[in-house]
Structure 1
Amino acid sequence: MAEEPADAGTRAEGTPTPSEHHGRSDRQGGRGGGGPAGDEREGRSGGGTGRSPGDESRGRDVDEHDRQSGDDRGRRSDDRHDRERRFDGRYERDRWDDDGHGHERRSDERDRWDDDGHGHERRSDERDRWDDDGHGHDPRPKDARVFEDAYPGMPAGPFARRGFRRFRLTAWIALVVAAVVVGVSITWVNGPPTEAELREKAGLLSKDRLRIGVKDDTPGIALRSKDGSGFEGFDIDIAYLIAADLGFRRDQVEFMSIETEDRARMQARNGNGEFVRVDLVVATFSVTPARKADPSVGFSTPYLFTEQSVVTRSDYQDEHVASLGQLEGRKVCSLGTSTSLTELSKAIRGNPIAEGLISKCVERLRRGDIDAVTTDAALLAGFVTQDRNLRHHDIALEKTEMWAVNAGPNAALRTLVDLALYRSYADPQNQRWEEAYKAHIEPLLKTNPGVNVAQAEQPCALPPPVRRWPWERTLPARDCPSAP
């Protein structure tokens, strides 16, 4: 029996592993004759502590293979953008792919994700979810269909659909804003002038004082103080109300005395007695069709309603005068060019007496030169309050006397006056008219019982054509059947 070699254990330990055999089988087959017997002979002759020439050749082949494999791995690992391949047994560990941007993903998962270049990924097996189901129905959600139709090639993921919804909402808001801007622009260009534009057209921006013609001899309405320093009365407060809305302080308002026949011409007298044209006339000027037809007259909306009445002395033989016809054959005085004088001329055959100031008529009545005075009740009530020897009669005329402001041919100024009176009428917080009435006319009611001195409410006023922004405060408009 042959003796077992001493290096049998060494050969057993040196037997190639399956992986080593996989890498060296071709070269070993070439040297050993390509059969199992050759492998067995080489395994036995390769035992012991020495190395046979076959072992040295095989070692060189292994070293050459390792060197080539190492070079190949080095080349592949040097390029950061190529895939890194490592060999481990029977398969390639080609599972990871470095994209050069710090991201790795499994090679066997590559087909599962689709990068659209915008940071969105989608599973490839989900692509068919957006396809037609073969029955003419698109199973995609509505937002996804709209988005993908509007932006071909871009996946309608949840973030894209959410972004599209925001985009669509923003687009609608932009359209609404654009429509509002266009509408406001059209209104702004073609609409009525603004309050600032009216002030410029009216010539108020160049004025440091506002001249207003007023009566100066009617107690309770417009009366110059005894020392001549100023005016007081209902008309004076209305003039201050209008001036404030026009942008003038009280110390910038200059009152000038005006007579009845000069109200249409807007000619008043200054402190030196010189005739001066005024900006406004607030002087118990009643609205009539004939006056409205005068091109030199520009009436505002009315600011007071009153009616015509008669005043006699207390010892007048007729205790009560109920109509102008009862004054037939009597000496009766009234204001020249006034509506009261016109009505008196219709009622009696005689020639009435005309004066430029109502105070002159009353003075003649006190002296006994005449029998009666007729004009607006609001004008006569103050004289009756001052003199208890006078008696006030309500003649019950249906015609209403409507006092208004005369702005002349200055249409822009007239619109601004209307705006001031409209604000006073429509704004419940604006109590300037009511305060003027309580201060100057209400006290006259007690001393003139049975006479409708003046209506206790401001006449209705319509909003004038002044352009207002939508966010500016607007006041309610009401019907004004009594407006001229």
Structure 2
Amino acid sequence: MKLRKVTAAAAAALVLSLTATACGGDDNDSDSADTGSGGGDKIKVGIKYDQPGLGLKEPDGSFSGFDVDVATYVAGELGYEPDQIEFIETKSADRENALARGDVDFIAATYSITDERKEKVDFAGPYLLAHQDLLVKSDSDITEATDLNGKKLCSVTGSTSAQNVKNDFAPKAQLKQVSTYSECVAALQSGAVDALTTDDSILAGFAAQEQYKGQFKLAGLKLSNENYGIGVKKGDTETVNKINDALEKMVSEKAWEKAVTDNFGPADYKNEPAPKIGNIVQ
């Protein structure tokens, strides 16, 4: 809580007012969240803005996706109504810094839990186990990563996914790197490339979009394990514990399964069961 400077004459009144407002915070002085106690004016949540099915900013300014649904549920358990949530775009390269600076209170943005990241932030979860996979046209005969030899494989610049496929499975694959996954999907649709690779959850999100229904399929490969967690500022154990409780409740109330079906169902996404809190699949 932030307190104003007061005169001596107002000191007694201030002491009395502190008793009444200690939990809720001072509405005039701060609109940032107190995730330890909940119920503040706003809670700031980092998400992706450009991943259909996971975190997407719609043309009307609203937000949709599995990560958005999870974040909304968690914020509710922390004491915030949907209109008290401020979704902030948090790009992959800036996630740790955003938490350290206090730009966001937590991050739900396809944020894989790794040992390297755990040195900088704390994680609740995991709340989804994803895998690296391939997205191909619905009539494609590509069923294994080795089938990509001599084929054109798309991914985004800076991603290691496509290079991993070339190094480990298909050394003769022709890599095409572009700025966004949307460009890869467009290239796949036009036939300019034969496959797109990244996390299966991201691929399913694109395939589930209305304009792509029936055009694509996931190969169903499990080329890696990606344990999605909710990032919290390093050392904030109280918030981590509260988010973990919220995630467990979301699963037990079947809200987690509903969010999976709503966001990935049209792509026939073969999702893993909800992971156990703290169970990191290597």
- Shared fold, TM over 0.5: yes
Do the aligned residues in 1 keep the contact of 2:207 with 2:266 (CA within 8 Å)? no
Structure 2 gap segments, 5+ residues each: 1-22, 24-32
Once residues 166 and 97 of structure 2 are traced to their aligned partners in structure 1, the CA distance between those partners, rounded to angstroms, is 24
Do the aligned residues in 1 keep the contact of 2:205 with 2:267 (CA within 8 Å)? yes
Q: How does 1:437-448 map to 2 (within 5 A)?
A: 437-445=260-268
Match of 1:218 in 2: 51
SS at match of 1:298: strand
- 1:302 is aligned to 2:126: yes
Question: Structure 2 vs 1, CA of residues 327 and 302 (structure 1 numbering), >3 Å: closer, same or farther?
Answer: same
Once residues 396 and 234 of structure 1 are traced to their aligned partners in structure 2, the CA distance between those partners, rounded to angstroms, is 20
Amino acid at match of 2:71: A
Among candidates 261, 279, 288, match of residue 114 of structure 2: 288
Question: Structure 2 vs 1, CA of residues 356 and 283 (structure 1 numbering), >3 Å: closer, same or farther?
Answer: farther
Among candidates 221, 226, 233, match of residue 395 of structure 1: 221
Shift of 1:392: 2.6
Q: How does 1:330-479 map to 2 (within 5 A)?
A: 330-335=151-156, 340-341=161-162, 343-344=164-165, 346-347=167-168, 348-349=170-171, 352-355=175-178, 357-386=180-209, 387=212, 388-397=214-223, 399-412=224-237, 413-425=239-251, 428=252, 430-445=253-268, 452=270, 454-455=271-272, 457-461=273-277
- Please say which structure displays the higher CA radius of gyration: 1
Question: Structure 2 vs 1, CA of residues 280 and 235 (structure 1 numbering), >3 Å: closer, same or farther?
Answer: same
Q: How does 1:81-480 map to 2 (within 5 A)?
A: 207-228=40-61, 230-266=62-98, 277-293=103-119, 295=120, 297-314=121-138, 319-323=141-145, 325-335=146-156, 340-341=161-162, 343-344=164-165, 346-347=167-168, 348-349=170-171, 352-355=175-178, 357-386=180-209, 387=212, 388-397=214-223, 399-412=224-237, 413-425=239-251, 428=252, 430-445=253-268, 452=270, 454-455=271-272, 457-461=273-277, 480=279
Once residues 364 and 376 of structure 1 are traced to their aligned partners in structure 2, the CA distance between those partners, rounded to angstroms, is 18
Amino acid at match of 2:128: L
Once residues 441 and 371 of structure 1 are traced to their aligned partners in structure 2, the CA distance between those partners, rounded to angstroms, is 22
Do the aligned residues in 2 keep the contact of 1:260 with 1:336 (CA within 8 Å)? no
Per-residue CA deviation, residues 91-121 of structure 1 (Å, 9 max, x unaligned), is xxxxxxxxxxxxxxxxxxxxxxxxxxxxxxx
SS at match of 2:88: strand
Shift of 1:308: 1.8
SS at match of 1:441: helix
Per-residue CA deviation, residues 441-464 of structure 1 (Å, 9 max, x unaligned), is 33432xx6xxx3x12x321126xx
Once residues 461 and 315 of structure 1 are traced to their aligned partners in structure 2, the CA distance between those partners, rounded to angstroms, is 38
Once residues 337 and 423 of structure 1 are traced to their aligned partners in structure 2, the CA distance between those partners, rounded to angstroms, is 36
Once residues 189 and 77 of structure 2 are traced to their aligned partners in structure 1, the CA distance between those partners, rounded to angstroms, is 41
Shift of 1:394: 1.9
Percentage identity across paired residues of the two chains: 30
Once residues 226 and 289 of structure 1 are traced to their aligned partners in structure 2, the CA distance between those partners, rounded to angstroms, is 37
Once residues 92 and 157 of structure 2 are traced to their aligned partners in structure 1, the CA distance between those partners, rounded to angstroms, is 7
Higher normalized strand content (fraction of residues):
2
Do the aligned residues in 2 keep the contact of 1:460 with 1:483 (CA within 8 Å)? no
Amino acid at match of 1:232: S
Once residues 243 and 51 of structure 2 are traced to their aligned partners in structure 1, the CA distance between those partners, rounded to angstroms, is 23
